Structure 1
Amino acid sequence: MPILTTEDTAERLTRLQEIIEDMLKEAKRQGASDAEASVGSSAGLEVAVRLGEVETVEHTRDNGLSVTVYFGHRKGSASTSDLSPGAIRDAVSAACAIAAHTQEDRCAHLADAELMATEVPDLDLYHPWSIGVDEAVELAASCEDAARAYDARIVNSEGASLSTHFGIHVAGNSRGFIGGYPTTRHGLNCAVIGQDGDAMQRDYWWTTARCAADLDTARSVGERAAERTVARLGGRRLDTREAPVMFRAEVATGLLRSLLGAINGSSIYRRSSFLLDRLGERIFPEFVRIYEEPHLRRGLSSAPFDGDGVATRAKDLVRDGILQTYVLDTYSGCRLGMPTTGNAGGVRNLRIEMGDLDRAGMLREMGTGLLVTELMGHGVNNVTGDYSRGASGFWVENGEIQYPVEEITIAGNLKDMFAGLVAVGNDCDFFGGTRTGSWLIERMTIAGE
């Protein structure tokens, strides 16, 4: 993918800022009392290899622009991929026309000017990768080759793919905010199929980072995918029982996302959350701390401002097991009579404080129970907290893995699961916007044969 020089990037950033300024001026000219706009420009390369052959080579280039105008408490929005002056005028006109036909909403407004980001710190998010198609194909192929050579029981492959992406995002509004920054993201993943007798299994692994130098090696990704696949062969079913359940680290991220869904402002003001009216109450054991780090250098979800232009800040969502805050943007905060928490667009770099036990130590802590390594289905009820998911993993006795298990369902209620969290491991071995070690839950229902 062609790499922009520092000068090219700075020039493009300036140009996109000018587009935002032009849009805001045009909105004022057309009578809007307030306006906000965002624009992005991106480019990328993705290659996919399967069984040693190139399957796809995809170059992407994209522009996107959106504007929202306010006439008092009536608002309208429009978007376009055309960044020409005429298209800007047309987009603003379309947004104004929409606003003229909407009902007033007392919470349809921008955040207060004093909450806006006044500076854009360098969060080390921009690390372009000067890699050509041939080299990208070679890396993906070597990743798949490592997986296929790992064990004779690896009999097929879903392939390996490598991606590299560059983007610039700029946003601004009529409360004096305008800011933007460039980012990069690179990744490599592989998925293979194993067979032992009539039994077949599939698994995968991946690596992703802002900087290519931070990626795991192609060989290690391939071998990890194959190792996970082979370990699942010979899976058995369990009879129905209750037992401790340990969610392996990459699976436990889903439990954190369930928490976020329950404390999201829109769920709270719609009264559709199992954590409704629990602010300031203990929802986890006392040792639990869950927090956000939006200014983490090279973080995959780092951002200096949120989707409303509000400055982001580090915060505890849960401290000493107690729910400290909801996750609010300007609109949901208004609906709840609370200030925004700077989370328009979501939480950035969610973390849970990890404990002292590695994965082996967590298994010993569990003793006998189920280690979950994959979940299927969408059986999570955000209103009641009821949780029921198809699962596979390993049965553990005396702290040691005994055999793989499959075709089971685990069930419980998230309120009880959160309260019954026994330990969080320090075994997070992947990089992502959400990071956690394995979770050991005191007891859940396992439905099998």
Structure 2
Amino acid sequence: MFVNPSSSLAEKSATDLFDQSALSELAQRLVEAARRAGADAADAVAVRGVSQSVEVRDGRVEESERSEGDDVGLRVLVGQRQAVVSTNDVSGDGVAKLAERAVAMARVAPDDKYVGFADPALLARDFPDLDLLDRNVPSTAELERRATEAEAAALAVKGVTKSGGASASSGIGGMVLVTSTGFHGSYLRSSQGISMTAISGEGTSMERDYDFTSALHASDLASPASVGRKAAERAVARTNPRKVETCKVPVVYDPRVSNSLVGHLVGAINGASIARKTSFLKDRLGQQLFASNIRIIDDPLRVRGLRSQTFDAEGVKVKKMALVDNGVLTTWLLDCATARELGMATTGHAHRGVSSVPSPGAYNLHLEPGTATPKELIADIKQGFYVTDLIGSGVNGVTGDYSRGASGFWIENGEITYAVSEVTIAGHLLAMFKSLVAANDLEFRYGVNAPTLRIEGLTLGGR
């Protein structure tokens, strides 16, 4: 949806933007209507999404976009049969009709012995303040200023020949969950971001790179100028990349791509994959996967965390957990249904949209830092590869085979030297996890965070 740049979220009434009472009332009415229509149990999710963004190229606004909407979803159980319906319009007698339709669908759905709601003893009762909401919503003019400043800083760096565009965005998102088992909870979370893409070189020799910053609060964002400069410096550093011969070398992952290794682990320990037996880690619970100093944490209660919340999509109380402790895999990520299927207890990792049933997923993930600096991690490498960008998704979650397109820099005698492009990195995730060494430069910038990581003996596919 395109709008006049003068329109902004900041002009919307704070009462309208931050008040979820109408959504809470609607969710409650849906649950009650479902019970009247014959549901044995029901829950309702109401989701608010409001966002705006500005894109700038060559000093001019290229696009200004705004969207907003409230959507609701109703899940009902009739015996062991389940159905989900969703809508963004419940005017008139829409609540009753939606409930009746959901119950009718559930009655003809197949039985599923694993469906059901959370044990009331597991439901969240306390909702600590995680400082998720910045009430100072930026105007469109402020977003334009941020994007313009980022682009100007990038274009001022020697070697940058063109702008790939800069953008700034903000938004408010939240959820209300009401269940027939007595749970009623809600949260609102703000978001703000700045990004820049810079281009170096000319013609067929052009290279591009980017940087971005994202946070819940504007005060936690990196400055627009620093985002622009970093994007520019990265693009210039990639100029005139070389090819390398196929070889087996240590590979060092820059923090902006090292988090992908945590992502591969978490995908493999998702309870849905374990229940389907489609994970290469399906028989590895309680086993040593990493060196004994490696810990991987999921913390939904981190103050100002990008994915923080106090309850999951089934109302279960969430908690900080070590998914890997002293190198040992300690848990699967479970919602209630996958937990029942595996004969275990939910870990409070249910996620859900308005049109879907709950399914497991993570919150704020990080791999704890080691003791060596990144320079020390690289110092003894005679020949190796420092990867800064990954391409494609060539990871087989069933077998653990790993193959990703990559670009970065060649390491020679402990020093990062020339740019390298058009290579592939290949290995097996079990062997990669076992040899993983972490540096001490962890920063919390993303939903998944990791420091610089070194992996031994990966195959680098070159010319």
Contact 1:119–1:179 (Cα < 8 Å) also in 2: no
CA positional deviation for 1:54 = 0.8
Q: Per the alignment, do residues 366 and 92 of structure 1 end up closer, same or farther by CA in structure 2, a change over 3 Å counting? A: farther
Specify the alignment match of 1:77 in structure 2. Answer: 84
**C-alpha distance in 1 between matches for 2:72 and 2:192:** 24
Specify the alignment match of 1:299 in structure 2. Answer: 305
The letter for the 2-side match of 1:298 is R
**C-alpha distance in 2 between matches for 1:136 and 1:120:** 32
Contact 1:366–1:440 (Cα < 8 Å) also in 2: no
1:119 to 102, 121, 126: 126
Task: Name the SS of the counterpart of 1:392 in structure 2.
Answer: strand
* TM-score, length-scaled by structure 2: 0.93
* Cα-to-partner distance string for 1:245-274 (whole Å, 9 max, x where unaligned): 111111011111100111000110111111
Contact 2:46–2:71 (Cα < 8 Å) also in 1: yes
**C-alpha distance in 2 between matches for 1:254 and 1:217:** 25
2:398 to 366, 380, 383: 383
* TM-score, length-scaled by structure 1: 0.96
* Cα-to-partner distance string for 1:270-293 (whole Å, 9 max, x where unaligned): 111110111111011111111111
**C-alpha distance in 1 between matches for 2:275 and 2:59:** 52
- Gapped regions of structure 1 (runs ≥ 5): none
CA positional deviation for 1:420 = 1.4
The alignment's C-alpha RMSD in Å is 1.6
**C-alpha distance in 2 between matches for 1:85 and 1:415:** 56
- Gapped regions of structure 2 (runs ≥ 5): 1-8, 352-360
**C-alpha distance in 2 between matches for 1:418 and 1:192:** 34
Segment drifting more, 129-138 vs 332-341 = 129-138
1:140 to 147, 150, 174: 147
1:15 to 19, 22, 30: 22
Specify the alignment match of 1:150 in structure 2. Answer: 157
CA positional deviation for 1:2 = 2.3
Counterpart check, 1:46 vs 2:61: no
**C-alpha distance in 2 between matches for 1:183 and 1:3:** 18
Segment drifting more, 258-267 vs 355-364 = 355-364
Specify the alignment match of 2:207 in structure 1. Answer: 201
1:249 to 255, 274, 277: 255
Contact 2:161–2:202 (Cα < 8 Å) also in 1: no
Counterpart check, 1:431 vs 2:445: yes
Specify the alignment match of 2:179 in structure 1. Answer: 173
Counterpart check, 1:27 vs 2:44: no
CA positional deviation for 1:92 = 1.6
CA positional deviation for 1:367 = 4.7
| Equivalent residues in 2 for 1:237-316, closer than 5 Å | 237-316=243-322
2:455 to 433, 438, 441: 441
Specify the alignment match of 2:225 in structure 1. Answer: 219
**C-alpha distance in 1 between matches for 2:249 and 2:162:** 35
**C-alpha distance in 2 between matches for 1:140 and 1:114:** 48
Contact 1:207–1:431 (Cα < 8 Å) also in 2: yes
CA positional deviation for 1:83 = 4.2
**C-alpha distance in 2 between matches for 1:55 and 1:9:** 27
Counterpart check, 1:408 vs 2:423: yes
**C-alpha distance in 1 between matches for 2:184 and 2:237:** 51
The letter for the 1-side match of 2:59 is G
CA positional deviation for 1:67 = 0.6
CA positional deviation for 1:164 = 0.5
**C-alpha distance in 2 between matches for 1:252 and 1:263:** 18
Specify the alignment match of 1:106 in structure 2. Answer: 113
Specify the alignment match of 2:411 in structure 1. Answer: 396
Specify the alignment match of 2:348 in structure 1. Answer: 342
Segment drifting more, 88-97 vs 21-30 = 88-97
Contact 1:63–1:83 (Cα < 8 Å) also in 2: no
CA positional deviation for 1:56 = 0.8
* Cα-to-partner distance string for 1:196-227 (whole Å, 9 max, x where unaligned): 68521110000000100110101000000001
* Cα-to-partner distance string for 1:376-423 (whole Å, 9 max, x where unaligned): 1111000000001111111111211111111111100001100111x2
- Tell me the number of residue pairs that the alignment of Structure 1 and Structure 2 aligns: 446
The letter for the 2-side match of 1:69 is V
* Cα-to-partner distance string for 1:279-326 (whole Å, 9 max, x where unaligned): 111011111111111110000010101111111111110101110001
CA positional deviation for 1:36 = 1.1
**C-alpha distance in 2 between matches for 1:89 and 1:276:** 43
Contact 1:117–1:305 (Cα < 8 Å) also in 2: yes
* Cα-to-partner distance string for 1:99-135 (whole Å, 9 max, x where unaligned): 1211110111111111111122211000033322222
**C-alpha distance in 2 between matches for 1:273 and 1:229:** 37
**C-alpha distance in 2 between matches for 1:9 and 1:2:** 9
**C-alpha distance in 1 between matches for 2:373 and 2:98:** 54
The letter for the 2-side match of 1:110 is F
Specify the alignment match of 1:2 in structure 2. Answer: 10
Q: Per the alignment, do residues 85 and 354 of structure 1 end up closer, same or farther by CA in structure 2, a change over 3 Å counting? A: farther
**C-alpha distance in 1 between matches for 2:84 and 2:461:** 48
Q: Kindly, what percent of the aligned residue pairs are identical?
A: 39
The letter for the 1-side match of 2:293 is F
Contact 1:80–1:87 (Cα < 8 Å) also in 2: no
Task: Name the SS of the counterpart of 1:134 in structure 2.
Answer: helix
The letter for the 2-side match of 1:221 is V
Q: Per the alignment, do residues 335 and 3 of structure 1 end up closer, same or farther by CA in structure 2, a change over 3 Å counting? A: farther
* Cα-to-partner distance string for 1:303-360 (whole Å, 9 max, x where unaligned): 1011111111111101011100011111111110111100012211111110122322
Q: Per the alignment, do residues 430 and 234 of structure 1 end up closer, same or farther by CA in structure 2, a change over 3 Å counting? A: farther
**C-alpha distance in 2 between matches for 1:214 and 1:394:** 30
The letter for the 1-side match of 2:36 is R
Counterpart check, 1:373 vs 2:388: yes
The letter for the 1-side match of 2:450 is T
